[in-house]
Structure formats: C-alpha cells, structure tokens
Amino acid sequence: MSDINSNIPEGELTSKWTKYKSSVPLVNPSNKRTIEVIIVGSGLAGASAAATLAEMGYKVKCFCFQDSPRRAHSIAAQGGINAAKNYQNDGDSVYRLFYDTIKGGDYRAREANVHRLAEVSANIIDQCVAQGVPLAREYGGLLDNRSFGGTQVQRTFYAAGQTGQQLLLGAYSALERQIGMGKVEMYTRHEMLEVVKIDGKARGIIARNLITGEIERHFGHAVVLGTGGYGNVFYLSTNAMGSNVTAAWKAHKQGAYFANPCYTQIHPTCIPVSGDHQSKLTLMSESLRNDGRIWVPKKKDDNRKASEIPEDERDYYLERRYPAFGNLVPRDVASRAAKERCDAGYGVGASKLAVYLDFKANTERYGKIEAAKAGNHNPDKETCMRLGTAVIKEKYGNLFDMYAQITGENPYETPMRIYPAVHYTMGGLWVDYNLMTSVPGLYCTGEANFSDHGANRLGASALMQGLADGYFVLPYTIGAYLSKEISVKAIPTDHPAFVEAEERAVGILNTLINIKGTKSVDHFHKRLGHIMWEKCGMARNAKGLNEAIEEIRALRAEFWSDVRVPGTADELNTELEKAGRVADFIELGELMCIDALNRNESCGGHFREEYQTEEGEALRDDENYAYVAAWEFKEGVNFELHKEELKFENIKVAQRSYK
Amino acid sequence: MSTGNMNLTLKVWRQKNNNAKGALVDYKLADISPDMSFLEMFDVLNEQLINKGEEPVVFDHDCREGICGMCSMFINGRPHGPKDLVTTCQLHMRSFKDGDTIVVEPWRAAAFPVVKDLTVDRSAFDRVIAAGGFISVNTGNAQDANNLPIPKMQADAAFEAAACIGCGACVATCKNASAMLFVSAKISQLALLPQGQPERYRRVQSMVAQMDAEGFGNCTNTGACEAECPKGISLENIARMNRDFASAKFISEETV
C-alpha cells in the first residue's frame, strides 16, 4: 500500500539503531570542514543539532527570527522530559517507554522511530546534566522524577515548572560556545522565506534580515528545518506569538510532503479565554495533574462558588470514567472529557467553558506528611494546609504565580479554572528514518516533523524528541547523505536557482505590501482561527470540514485582495512578517481540513464525531487508516495524497484503554 | 467575559530606526478591559493605528507567558512596569486605573541600541555567553547522570540563578547600565555545580572581559537590578562573581 519509502533499516527492532549507527557512512574530518549545513530554528531541535554538528567539524549556519537563539519557544515548555532511566525502580525500560509512546499516539506512529527515541532518551539526561542543566534533585543528591499522563511509571525529569527553559539554555550554551569558537555563524532576526533546490536537492535558503529587510542567499550542502509546530493556525494557542509554519510550508511547496496535518494536540489544562482581546492562551503544566483533581459540579448550571459545593456534590469525572489512570489519562482523552462535561452544561466560571483543577486534597495530604516528619502525628486541618501549601509552592510556585497574575485569582485558596487549548501539532513535514524529507538534502527535526508521536503526544515527550533528534539522531543520519556530497564544492549564490527563489520570495513581499486593503493581518488570522477551532478543533465531522474548506478558500481570496500591510519591505516591519505567516497558515488550514476529512476514523487528537464507541471514545479503523497521510503540494493550492503504511510487528494493536 | 471600561493616555517612544531621532507620541485609548495584558492593550492600539493608515508601534514580544525574555518595555520609569516579579507580558491592566497616563519607553543603555520604537538590540548578552557561559562538553561525552550526586541545596541554588530570562531589565534600570546581575547569574549557576568547576575561573575572567568590551557599566551596589528583576535573581550572585573574579587572579594559571 505504501508509495513512499521510509528507509527503515532491516533487522530486529531493538538492534536497528545500533546496527545503523555502526554501519552508516562517515565523513572524514578534513571533508567536514568544507561541508556547510544550514539549520533553521534555534529551539531544542535546532540549537542541539547546530551545536553538535559544529562540534563534529561541519561548517554551520543557524537562523532564528527572534533576537536571540535563547528565545525559541522550547523555552516555554514547563513540565518535564521523559527518559527510560528507571531511576525510581518502578519497572521502567526502553521497551515500556516505546510501548507507552506508541499506545499514547493511538497506534499511528512508526515503530522504528519511536524505539530509537526511547533508546536515546537516557543519553539526553546525561548530556544535559553534564552541561550544567540544574534538574530537580532529591536530598540524596540524585535526580528526582515525577509522573505524567498516559504512563504508570515515574520517568519525567524536571526543573520546577521551567524544564524547557533549562534544557533550552543548556542547548543555547552549547550553541553559543560554538559561535564563540567561530564554528557556527548565527543569524538572529532572520526569517527563512524559501528553500533553494538545485538538481532536485536542497542547496540553500533565502532569508530576510528582519531589521533591514535585506534579502539574503545562503548556500548549504544540506538544510535542516527545526522550526517548530503550527498550532498558531488556530490564532489562539499556547504557542508563542511568532511561532509559525512558514519555513515548513515553503519547503512543502518545494516538494516536501506534509504528513498528518490534522493531528493537533488540544491540551486539557490551560487558562480559559477571558475575552475578545485575548492574544494567546497559557498552559498550566500537565505536571499539575499529579497533585490536582479535576472536577465539575454534579448539578447542571451550578452557580455556587467552588468552596460552597460539598464533596458529595462534586463529579471527579476523570476518576469516575478512568479509574486506572484517573487524572493522569493522556491529553486527548482528558480534553474531550472536559469538553463533554462543559457541552452537557456542567461547566464552571463566567463563560461556563471551564472545569476545576483542585489541589486541596493533596495539599492536605502533603501537610500531614510534613507534620509527621516534624513529629506531629495528629495535626489540625489548618496546620496541614499551611505546611502542605509550602510543599505545593516549592513544586509549582511559578505556575501558581502565573495563574494568579493572569486571572487575578489566588489558586492556593480557590481551585484553578482550566479548559483545553491548542498546544502542539503532531503532524509536520514527512521524514524518513533518517529525518530527511521527500526533498533530498532537506531534513526536518523536532515538532516540525511528524515522526514520533502518532496521533497524540504524551506529556514530557516533546522535549525528549527535540533533543533526541538534534543531539543524537540527525548528527548520525545526516552523515549518510553528506558522505556522498564531499566532492560538491560550495555553489555560488548567483546560481539561477538562487535568483529564481529570491524572486519568488520578493514577489510575495511586494504583493503583500501593494494590496493596500482595508483589514489588518490579525483580522484575517482571527477569522481563520475561528473557523479552525469550530470545525477542525477538538471534534470534527464531515459536514463541518466541508464547510470549513469552502470558508477558508473564500478567506484566502479575501486576504489576497483586502489585507492592509503598512510600511515598506526594506525596514523592520512586523506587520509584513505576520502577513507572510498568515498567508501560509491559510493554505495550511485548508490542508488540515482536507486531511481530517480524508481520515474517516477517530484516533488520538483527531476526533471525528461519526466514529466513536458507545462510551464516546475514539474509534479507529485500522483496516483502512493504519497509514501516514503524506500530502504533496500541487500547483494552485491542491494536494495529492501519498500513503505510508504503518506496520506493527512488535506491539499488538488494540483499542486504547485507560480504564 | 469582561467588558472594558478603562480610558488611558499613552505616551509612547517612537523612533523610525537607530539613526533617527525619537520622541514620545501621545495616544488615547478607550474601553480597555482590566483583564487585558499590557501587550494586549498595545495590540488594541496597533489595530487602531493600522485602521487609521498609520504604522503600528514595534515592540519585542513572543511567548507572552513570562519566560522567553523578549518583551522589554520601560513603563512609567520602571522596566516591566509597576508590579514586582512580572514581565511586561504578564502585567495586566488591572494594575492601572481608569484615566491613567502611562509613559512607555525602550530599554535605554549604550550597549542596547534602539532598533525601532520600543525594540532594542540585546545581542551583547549573547556575546557575553559565547565568551564563557557554558561547560565545555561535546555531545556524547557524558557519564550517567546519577554518577554525580549534587546536594539538593546546591542544585536548587544553581537553579535559582539559572532562572534568569536574559530580558535586560537589570541593565535598563541600572543608573550605570551595568549587566552584572545577568552575567553573575550565569557565572553563579555554573560555579555552584561540580560540573562547572574545571572552567570556573577562566569563565569568570572571559565573561567579565566581554561584558566590559560591550560597554556595560560597573556595579555601585544600588540594588535596583535585584528589585526590578522579573525572576527575582539575587544580588548575592554579583558578590559571588566578584569573589570569583578576585580569586581568579590568584588561582588561574591561564591567561584569558
């Protein structure tokens, strides 16, 4: 059934990667010095790859649109990073991490990639600690772990609620070290606008200097995109304001297939929308579900305050529906359950689009333990709450402060109100086992590719994948390609392919400036987001998706005739930057709906209302849809479907159950 | 849903580019909701400017959840505004009153030249890190993480220093435009950990040298940096850096 080759090595699952590593062709040090690699993006996947390739001896150029590589959105990841270390002696292993990830992804990920991810996970922790990343420790001086959704072991390493920040600053330090040594040329405030292809191979990029507006041509023997996810297609998401799909989308238009675009992760624990002015949504880390219990009132439209609702009138619906995993079910399951309760009229808060995340029971429990440690075995409630609050504060202080700052409520006293929000995109550029896209020499790492999370990503796995790709996978696999490129001399950038790519990029910028319409870029972005959230969000159906496709096409036409971009292209022009990104989001949005419409099943983050069990759980169709949908861009914004069949040889495919 | 009822006067620094002369420009805003963030209030202003055919105010921002360190407004004479321990993106309009006049300027320091309007160039910070803010360990050389136990207190202290987001508020508020809080936070993080010991004294010398080369001022112990730091980075880090810097002259055999 597959019409694309994923280049998975032969052999036993557990030995594929080891064998691959010891047999992959190498590039000798003197040749590495003349080989140039372009890396777009400086988050976990980009910075780690840039640093590692430079350490290996390649000439590296790294690009980011922010003012410093340290600002990439990986920095905002809160909860943690998974690794199969089994430090807690709770039965964890590479196989279990592999199994949990495949199952969590609802059997829509590639076995060989996921197993490799689990294999290198332990090395990541070692590497980061060696770099001086201050991960949380126990009193004995060893590393601490916590639980995340979709697993029954404690394998998540963390640094308070700032794990992404600490890991990114580790990768950033490694990158800056190479920059200081002159081995990486860093281009900050630069945005990639085109991929340059020569004889079918990726040979460079066109980038815009965002300060001066200058268009630059850069050659590379290979190009790596570590440019993150596309959640901002929904306008409101937990992504940073600048997060965008442009680099990936331009690559897509140059022949890189886009895989599973409809797989979107809606995170269950975000701060609810407070008004029309809202520009972004803020996540409250999944780690809070370790100690928080999620509930709604048993009575419909209950307007009492949370504290006035007695225990027996509360519905802890996750614990009720999923006794085995309780509040720690995977994100897709938790999100849908919250939506179900709110749609049924049990939501809380002014908007009624929220549920409670309540820390009281665990605060009291921690307080009891602390009191006992101090010799008080019969503490009163007030003592328990006081001591317990200190424990909660140490674990999640920054998150509680952020919640208080945004909502104006004190979460130590009243339960948090939370609601699902767009958070992560499992889909992305299709890559083979080598992380190479369908364009030779063009690689894609981290959230920007589709490879490891199937239809739903487990918590604390994004940091793991980004760093696995950048530190431990790509540096090997890119050698397989570059070893055949050693005789290629740097191609001068006056080559016709560079000229043509630059003309395309400049053409788009000029068109956007010259439309001189009546509506702002944000106006179109908000409307796109509204269509996507209503019709391609947490629940989808054929009718809605068909409508969405028509509406997005109409929106695209309107955008290209009525958008207003003030200023010029030869200066710092943030509206022009946004306009280019929103133009790409509009095209991507259409493809997401097409993909969602094509997939006549429910799996993970893709929930088609027509396909559900009697209990309202996602109903897969393994016979017809156990494939990766890889879309090829065709002239005039059309898309052709290619299929990569998913074979499960080591895991028994089953209906996912967390009961 | 909240409805907006605040009326505000903004005085915003507008500057076309680094070579142009800048000035404060007055804007009136009506119906602002107290639940808006400060940057969302600026979104409203920019939408109005665009609709009037004017150019929007350019300001740095990205994550809008207080961690990327990109937002950088000097609000009513204070970096990140009137509240302690928050960044501009986490400052909400409920911290202001109806009828307020709010003055918004860029970070001002010789080492942070203005790029446009409220956006400045903070690449000097990256160059300070590149000079030594790292542990020299290549990918693939690490031992098992638990082979190196680190006392919790020490690990926690290193984490507290590492929480710096590199926003530059410390420089902006300092009368000397000193970057010592930023530089010492990185030096402290690594000096507190066993992994950081081999390069400890070499690091402090090269980072301080780069800090001086960038044109940041010296520290005169006024403590404004600590008071304004949105992440509560402690002044103790500067003391530690100064100690290490002094010690380095006796201990380090390497010349930097």
**pLDDT(A1) > 90:** no
Determine the residue of chain B that is closest to A237 in CA distance: B63
Distance in angstroms (rounded) separating the CA atoms of residues A641 and A631 = 5
Contacts of A531 (CB under 8 A, 6+ apart): A548, A551, A552, A555, A589
Task: Take residue B241 and report the two structure tokens written for it.
Answer: 């850096």
Distance CA B39, CA B45 (A): 10
Dist. CA A2–CA A646, nearest whole Å: 9
Tokens at A504, concatenated: 């395309």
pLDDT for residue A398: 83
Hey, are the CB atoms on A571 and B17 less than 8 Å from each other? Answer: yes
- Residue B1 confidence (pLDDT): 38
Q: Calculate the average pLDDT of chain B.
A: 96
Using a CB-CB distance cutoff of 8 angstroms, which residues of chain A are in contact with residue B133? Answer: 173, 176
In contact, A632 and A639? CB cutoff 8 Å: yes
B149: chain A residues, CB-CB within 8 Å:
137, 140-142
What percent of chain A is predicted at pLDDT more than 70?
Answer: 100
Q: pLDDT, tens digit, for every residue of A127-166?
A: 999 999 999 999 999 999 988 888 889 999 999 889 999 9
What residues contact residue A258 under an 8 Å CB cut-off, 6+ apart? Answer: A248, A252, A427, A428, A429, A430, A588, A591, A630, A631, A633
Judged against a pLDDT cut of 70, whether residue B252 lies above it is answered with no
Rounded to an integer, what distance in angstroms lies between the CA atom of residue A136 and that of residue A302?
A: 40
Which domains occur in chain B, in start order? 6-115 (3.10.20.30), 122-137+144-250 (1.10.1060.10)
A614-635 pLDDT per residue, tens: 988 899 999 999 999 999 999 9
Q: How big is chain B, counted in residues?
A: 256
Residue A559 · residue A550 · CB < 8 Å: no
Q: Catalytic residue, from A146, A331, A417, A656: name it.
A: A331
Helix (H, G, I), strand (E, B) or coil at B151: coil
- Beta-bridge mates of residue A244: none
| Chain B residues lying within 8 Å of A275, measured CB to CB | 1-2, 33, 35-36
Q: Is B147 left (phi over 0), alpha (psi -120 to 50) or beta?
A: alpha
Cβ-contact B90, A406 below 8 angstroms: yes
Tell me the nearest-neighbour CA distance from B142 into chain A, angstroms: 5
Positions of E strands within A393-543: 416-425, 428-429, 442-444
Model confidence at B2, in pLDDT bands (50, 70, 90)? very low
B133/B206 Cα distance (integer angstroms): 9
Per the model's pLDDT, the better-predicted residue between B141 and A100 turns out to be: A100
Residues in chain B with CB shorter than 8 Å from the CB of A274 are 1-2, 35
Whether residue A447 has pLDDT greater than 90:
yes
Residue A646 binned pLDDT confidence (cut-offs 50, 70, 90): very high
Shortest CA distance from B68: residue in chain A = A71
Report the distance separating Cα A270 and Cα A281, nearest Å.
7
- Quick one: closest CA in A to B135, which residue? A131
Q: Do B70 and A401 touch (CB under 8 A)?
A: no
The DSSP result for A358-424, as a single string, is E-HHHHHHHHHHHHHHTT-SS--HHHHHHHHHHHHHHHHHHHHHHHHHHHS--TTTSPEEEEEEEEE
Could you write out the DSSP letters of every residue in A58-109? -EEEEE-SSSSGGGSGGGG--S-EE----TT-SS--HHHHHHHHHHHTTT-S
DSSP lists the bridge partners of residue A192 as A207
Contact A240 B66 (CB under 8 A): no
Mean pLDDT across A241-258: 98
Distance CA A221, CA A35 (A): 6
Mean pLDDT of chain A: 96
Q: What is the pLDDT of residue B3?
A: 63
Does residue A137 carry a catalytic annotation?
Answer: no
Residue to mutate among B63, B159, B192, B202, with most A CBs inside 10 A, is: B63
Q: What is the rounded CA–CA span in Å between residue A107 and residue A101?
A: 9
pLDDT digits (tens, 9 = 90+) for A521-569: 999 999 999 999 999 999 999 999 999 999 999 999 999 999 999 999 9
Among A125-139, A401-415, A443-457, the minimum mean pLDDT is found in A401-415
Choose from A73, A526, A574, A576 for mutation: most chain B CBs within 10 A. A574
Name the β-bridge partners of A264: A425
Give the mutation candidate from A58, A137, A142, A283 for the B interface (greatest B CB count, under 10 A).
A137
Arithmetic mean of pLDDT, A202-211 = 98
CA A47 from centre of chain? 16
Look at residue B255 and tell me whether its pLDDT is greater than 60: no
Q: Name every chain A residue with its beta carbon within 8 A of the beta carbon of B193.
A: 132, 134
In this prediction the pTM is: 0.97
**B143/A130 CB distance under 8 A:** yes
Per DSSP bridges, beta strands B6-14 and B23-32 are antiparallel
Q: Minimal Cα distance from B210: which residue of A?
A: A180
Q: Is the pLDDT of residue A290 over 90?
A: no
